[in-house]
């Protein structure tokens, strides 16, 4: 990797929502032949790095398709990683001449944005939606493109929560530190000790929110965040009143922790991959197609309840293949599907967009 791309990679970790593209291209991994698998991913530099790491021991081709440098899921839901992206790299990469087959493996999470029927019609390539995570690609290929249930499901494990918390901690602390130290020129009360105290509150609220809250069994993200904040506020008050006896710190800590909590509570569920964005749902209900949050503006897909027109279902199982929450159940008796635990649907729209019989709707 070039020095420029290494620097880009480092920055992209913390500023990923702005998009960090690399040139769309075709990469040969190992010693591929005309029979070797062809994989495709988006051109977000961090995703490319992770996919390359996961497939480094395979012999295959990897197509990097344009997505404005946005990651697979956000790109597919926000219209940046779409059918055109796949068509363009298929046509310009020369892959047609390198392989004898026409099977292309896409990340499962690209399903909301990419239409396999159009791609087949325009290029002759058959699309298979592979596993959710790049680390599962080798076993998916080894199993002759069969995806286990575990490989279809999006998770939010401890390591991902730490990563997400670090991301938000970094972004918000850079912003707050800048404002704090500029203000300190005019307000001598803002000293180093108060700054360190501020950062400590930051760590407790942001990391605590990400690490603990997904386990709190309340319905809304807002309730989770405010329950946690209530406990933190109590600790802050007791600590200030009985241990350091400092009124200034007490007032500052209360105001500051309430401010961060307001930001986190705005759409805590939407910050995770396992819950529906409450802000997105609210914005969609108001009739807006775009939502503003923190520093970005995001295109919305429809929010609402999934309705199955069961009589039209042809039992193709595509919804099962693309649902990252594993909510569809196949009924062997009548060869149709049912939705279980609909409250767990995150409205990614993958099933609705890819249903071959168009019998799924969002109401």
What whole-number distance in Å separates Cα of residue 164 and Cα of residue 174? Answer: 16
Q: Which is nearer to ligand SF4, 64 or 318 (CB)?
A: 318
Total number of residues binding ligand SF4 (CB under 6 A)?
27
The stretch among 35-43, 168-176, 256-264, 353-361 that binds ligand SF4 (CB under 6 A) is 353-361
Cβ-in-10-Å burial (0-12, 13-18, 19+) of 307 comes to: middle
Give the shortest CB-35-to-ligand SF4 separation in angstroms.
Answer: 30
* Bridge partners, 360 (sequence order): 308
Q: Is 272 in the site for ligand SF4 (CB under 6 A)?
A: no
User: What DSSP designation does 361 have?
Assistant: E
Three-class DSSP category at 225: helix
Judge contact between 352 and 361, C-beta under 8 A.
yes
Give the shortest CB-290-to-ligand SF4 separation in angstroms.
Answer: 19
Q: Is 165 in the site for ligand SF4 (CB under 6 A)?
A: no
Give the shortest CB-44-to-ligand SF4 separation in angstroms.
Answer: 21
Q: Residue from 262, 346, 361, 363 that binds ligand SF4 (CB under 6 A)?
A: 346
Give the shortest CB-301-to-ligand SF4 separation in angstroms.
Answer: 8
Q: Is 356 in the site for ligand SF4 (CB under 6 A)?
A: yes
What whole-number distance in Å separates Cα of residue 318 and Cα of residue 337? Answer: 10
What whole-number distance in Å separates Cα of residue 288 and Cα of residue 211? Answer: 31
Give the shortest CB-136-to-ligand SF4 separation in angstroms.
Answer: 18
What whole-number distance in Å separates Cα of residue 293 and Cα of residue 279? Answer: 8
Judge contact between 328 and 345, C-beta under 8 A.
no
User: Using CB under 6 A as the criterion, what x/- string covers residues 294-313 for binding ligand SF4?
Assistant: ------------x-x----x
Q: Residue from 36, 108, 110, 347 that binds ligand SF4 (CB under 6 A)?
A: 347
User: Using CB under 6 A as the criterion, what x/- string covers residues 215-254 for binding ligand SF4?
Assistant: ----------------------------------------
Q: Residue from 174, 235, 294, 357 that binds ligand SF4 (CB under 6 A)?
A: 357
Give the shortest CB-322-to-ligand SF4 separation in angstroms.
Answer: 6
Element at 231 (helix H, strand E): helix 221-239
Q: Is 114 in the site for ligand SF4 (CB under 6 A)?
A: no
User: What DSSP designation does 21 have?
Assistant: B
User: Using CB under 6 A as the criterion, what x/- string covers residues 311-330 for binding ligand SF4?
Assistant: --xxxxxxx--xxxx-x---
What whole-number distance in Å separates Cα of residue 135 and Cα of residue 55? Answer: 8
Residue 115: CA atoms inside 13 Å, Cβ hemisphere, count?
11
What whole-number distance in Å separates Cα of residue 161 and Cα of residue 12? Answer: 18
Binding site for ligand SF4 (CB under 6 A): 306, 308, 313-319, 322-325, 327, 337, 345-351, 355-357, 359-360
């Amino acid at each position: 990797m070039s020095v420029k791309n290494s620097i880009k990679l480092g920055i992209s970790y913390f500023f990923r929502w702005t998009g960090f593209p690399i040139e769309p291209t075709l990469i040969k991994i190992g010693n591929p032949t005309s029979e070797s698998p062809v994989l495709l991913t988006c051109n977000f530099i961090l995703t490319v790095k992770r996919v390359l790491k996961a497939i480094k021991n395979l012999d295959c081709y990897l197509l990097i398709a344009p997505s404005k440098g946005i990651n697979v899921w956000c790109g597919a839901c926000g219209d940046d990683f779409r059918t055109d992206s796949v068509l363009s790299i298929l046509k310009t990469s020369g892959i047609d001449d390198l392989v004898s087959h026409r099977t292309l493996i896409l990340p499962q999470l690209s399903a909301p944005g990419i239409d396999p029927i159009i791609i087949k019609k325009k290029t002759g390539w058959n699309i298979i939606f592979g596993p959710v995570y790049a680390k599962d690609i080798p076993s998916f290929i080894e199993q002759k493109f069969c995806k286990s249930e575990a490989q279809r499901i999006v998770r939010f494990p401890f390591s991902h929560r730490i990563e997400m918390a670090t991301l938000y901690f970094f972004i918000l602390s850079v912003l707050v530190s800048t404002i704090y130290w500029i203000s300190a020129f005019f307000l001598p009360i803002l000293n180093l000790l108060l700054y360190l105290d501020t950062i400590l509150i930051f760590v407790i609220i942001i990391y605590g929110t990400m690490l603990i809250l997904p386990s709190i069994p309340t319905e809304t993200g807002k309730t989770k965040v405010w329950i946690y904040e209530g406990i933190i506020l109590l600790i802050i008050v007791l600590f200030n009143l009985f241990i350091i006896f400092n009124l200034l710190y007490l007032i500052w800590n209360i105001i500051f922790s309430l401010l961060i909590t307001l930001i986190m509570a705005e759409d805590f569920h939407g910050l995770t991959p396992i819950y529906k964005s409450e802000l997105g749902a609210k914005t969609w209900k108001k009739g807006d197609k775009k939502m503003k949050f923190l520093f970005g503006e995001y295109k919305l897909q429809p929010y609402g309840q999934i309705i199955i027109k069961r009589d039209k279902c042809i039992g193709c199982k595509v919804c099962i293949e693309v649902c990252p929450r594993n909510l569809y159940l196949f009924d062997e008796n009548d060869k149709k599907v049912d939705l279980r635990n609909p409250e767990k649907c995150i409205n990614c729209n993958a099933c609705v967009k890819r249903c071959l019989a168009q019998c799924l709707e969002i109401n």
